Amino acid sequence: MENASKALIIAGAILLAILIISLGIMIYNQAAGVANGDAINQVDISSFNAQFTQYEGEHVRGGQVNALIEQVRTNNITYQDDTSRQVKVQCSDAGIASMTAIGAKDPVKKVPTGQTYSVKCSMSDAGLVNEITIGAAGSSTP
């Protein structure tokens, strides 16, 4: 009887050791992915996209479009070394000057505030907003 209880204790200790080693390997692999910058989790993607998609719509006021342009400018300055997080702005309306790249050295471009615009966000393969198209409200190519 004494041998059976010792065998159960040894088997339990072995299972516990395997569990601890597996947990350690799993934590190491997750930490290595974050250290390399390869792991962008869904929460990071959602919070990044939310700062731009909140302006998306068919009848967006000019003041909101100007706020969006400033948000893009701030983002592009913040992530100037990370091209995957750079956002481009395309304007499909002839009355709005094209703003493909918005950065620190680019002059601030504003849209007239007395009009409404159509704003559409496009996503990259990684799921991040990478392009915003601004057009006249009701246009077929937002």
Query: pLDDT class for 142, splitting at 50, 70, 90?
Result: very low
Q: What does pLDDT average to over the chain? A: 82
20 φψ region: left (φ > 0), alpha (ψ -120 to 50), beta (else): alpha
**Averaged pLDDT for residues 49-70:** 91
pLDDT at 121: 94
β-pair type (57-61, 116-123): antiparallel
CA distance 24 to 120: 44
pLDDT at 54: 94
Task: State which H helix or E strand residue 97 sits in.
Answer: none
pLDDT reading at 8 higher than 60: yes
pLDDT at 31: 76
**Averaged pLDDT for residues 18-26:** 94
**pTM listed for this prediction:** 0.64
pLDDT at 141: 45
Of 38, 103, 53, the residue nearest 76 (C-alpha): 103
Q: Percentage of the chain surpassing pLDDT 90?
A: 35
